[in-house]
Structure 1
Amino acid sequence: MAEKEIVYVISDSVGETAEIVVKAVASQFNGGHVDIRRNSYVEDTEDLEEAILLARKDHSLIAYTLVVPALKEYLDKRAAEEGITAIDLLNPLMDAFVKRFNKEPRHRPGLMRRLDEEYFRKVEAIEFAVKYDDGRDPRGIARADIVLIGVSRTSKTPLSMYLAHQRYKVANVPLVPEVAPPDEIFTLRRGKCVGLIITPDKLNAIRKERLKALGLTSQANYASYERILEELDYAEKIMKRVGCPVINVSNKAVEETASLILDVLKMERSSNR
């Protein structure tokens, strides 16, 4: 079996970008059988020198993503001296950005990784919102950044998901007269919990539409005025016990309510300092 070709990937960050590009190119040659040897978090010329000598010994080439100018210049110079092909994967495009957009790059390694971390935080928040939706597991209440409480159809789930996309971990708890709320909501510190209320007329209309979508009669107790008033009265009492701010979601878009939630919690936390 023929030995794999070797490519040294050098980066002053993780090196994932360079490795992905090398794999994409390698896939065009003999099924992509290439041995990628990554040298990550290169900080000085000593780190570069080690990779250069290995590449020379293996008759390999180097693909690199170096945003620190001094490291790039050193690698280009030494690779030329050793007769090694060194491919710069970032700077040609960076130069094009400078010329076209008239802006200078930061020359700071790891910025892409920070963007990735933001993405993973958002995914984690979304998974959290799904796991602790509708009071499924009260253990999430203590771990949440925000806890939403309210009767059914006050947009708790859509708000949880919207805020999750902004990287907030949100748990929501339905308030139902027949079911005691979890003890955890009464021990939350100020600035974490928000109560959601709605006018009886609006809730009645929403619940009727919900029943219609489910193929059920609109006369069900779920949408009756008497039931709705009972639930809203119960929810108000619970919110007073919790001592949380309350937002009326009637006729408000999810985006508007989410913004209000963040504003009132910010004020709550500020006044609690």
Structure 2
Amino acid sequence: MKRLHVFVVSDAVGETGEQVARAVIRQFRPGYEYTVIRRFPHIQSEDLIRKIVSLAVKQQALILYTLVQAEMRSFLQALCKEQQIHAVDILGPILKTMATFIEETPTETPGIVHQLDDDYFKKIEAIEFAVKYDDGKDPRGLLQADIVIIGVSRTSKTPLSQYLAHKSYKVANVPLVPEVEPPEELFQIDASKCFGLVISPDQLNSIRKERLKALGLSDNAIYAQYHRISQEIQHFNKIAEKIGCQVIDVTNKAVEETANVIIGYMLNDR
């Protein structure tokens, strides 16, 4: 399989370009096999563009760019053509079409979407909330959360919490372990904002074995054994039923997919 290098060049943080890159790459390599995505944010000079294109030549990289200034887009495109590097303009065609459609001229202000507005501060607050109330650190956060996530270990509760936090949701998550009683607050919250994550025993066994190996431990530890996994899932089902929460099967699901399911439920409840 050919190794793929993708450079995301942006005059802001490059989040949009990277999301587009990942969405496209997943159509070819769902697990991003032999793929390296590198983000180059805050690029606002021709000198930096020259250096990036030079590096792209050496690594035979594909360049995706989100530059709002027409002059910078043209410069990068011309340089890539000269160096025979494939490049894709993500924002340019949309800006041109929009300008024609509404008969207005774009401001071409880099990073305007990330200006310090109310939405930005709401997102930062949500991210800080997710960190503070991650992994059941403080059960008081359950009563303040927009979303509460429960599940056994290694069901991606933390990555999911962070992803939802970037969508401005305050998320708290609680790991469920048979030997530890769940916090009382878990049974006091509105069940409609609580989501349980369940996964197939086979996939959980594989994930836990890999986790143990990464820690330099034996993959025969009880943590990854089927009887232990079965015990934890039974405990999870008992708690989820008691709460009355929505249960989502995350087997073979990406974090983004699970997040979209949860967001869908949240929007329908409004």
TM-score (norm 1): 0.57
Whether 2:176 is the aligned partner of 1:172: answer no
Letter in 2 for 1:216: L
Distance 1:134 1:218, change over 3 A: same
**Counterpart amino acid of 2:118?**
E
Give the structure 2 partner of residue 195 of structure 1: 196
Structure 2 counterpart of 1:260, which letter? Answer: V
Report if the CA contact (8 A) 1:135-1:171 is conserved.
Answer: yes
Deviation at 1:114, TM superposition (A): 8.2
Amino acid at match of 2:121: F
Q: Structure 1: where are the runs of 5+ without partners?
A: 1-96, 106-110
Q: Residue 239 of structure 1 corresponds to which residue in structure 2?
A: 240
2:158 is matched with which residue?
Answer: 157
1:82-103 residue CA offsets vs partner (Å, 9 max, x unmatched): xxxxxxxxxxxxxxx9799832
Separation in 2 of the partners of 1:266 and 1:211?
Answer: 38
**More off after superposition, 158-167 vs 115-124:** 115-124
Distance in structure 2 (CA, Å) of the matches to 1:99 and 1:145:
40
C-alpha distance in 2 between matches for 1:190 and 1:103: 47
Corresponding residue number in structure 2 for 1:132: 133
Tell whether the 8 Å contact from 1:175 to 1:235 is kept in structure 2 after alignment.
yes
- Is the contact made by 2:123 and 2:165 (CA closer than 8 Å) also made in structure 1? yes
In structure 1, distance between residues paired with 2:147 and 2:184: 16
The answer on whether the counterparts of 2:191 and 2:243 sit within 8 Å (CA) in structure 1 is no
CA–CA distance in 1 between the matches of 2:151 and 2:101?
52
- Classify the secondary structure of the residue corresponding to 1:219: coil
1:233 positional shift: 0.4
Q: Does 1:221 align with 2:232?
A: no
Matched AA of 1:120: F
Aligned runs of 1:43-82 on 2, under 5 Å? Answer: none
- Rounded to whole Å, the distance in 2 between the matches of 1:170 and 1:144 is 5
Q: Deviations over 1:181-226 (max 9, x none)?
A: 0011111113210010000000000000000100000001110111
Amino acid at match of 1:232: I
Identical residues among aligned pairs (%): 60
- Does the aligned pair in 2 maintain the 1:122–1:166 contact within 8 Å? yes
Counterpart of 1:143 in structure 2: which amino acid? Answer: Q
Task: Give deviations 1:94-143, integer Å, cap 9, x for gaps.
Answer: xxx979983279xxxxx999862111111110000000000000010000
CA contact (8 A) 1:148 1:173 kept: yes
Shift of 1:247: 0.1
| Alignment correspondent of 2:184 | 183
Deviations 1:225-264 (A, max 9, x none): 1100000000000000000010000000000000011223
* Aligned partners of 2:147 and 2:194 also within 8 Å: yes
1:112-131 matched pairs, under 5 angstroms? 116-131=117-132
Alignment length (residue pairs):
168
* Cα pair 1:245 1:264 within 8 Å, conserved: no
Q: Secondary structure at the match of 1:126?
A: helix
SS of the aligned residue for 1:251 comes to: coil
Unaligned runs of 5+ in 2: 1-97, 107-111
> Contact (CA 8 Å) 2:145, 2:172: kept in 1 or not?
yes
SS at match of 1:191: helix
- Note if 1:253 corresponds to 2:244: no
- Asked if 1 retains the 8 angstrom alpha-carbon contact of 2:123 and 2:168, the reply is yes
TM-score, scaled relative to structure 2 = 0.58
CA distance in 2, matches of 1:141, 1:135: 9
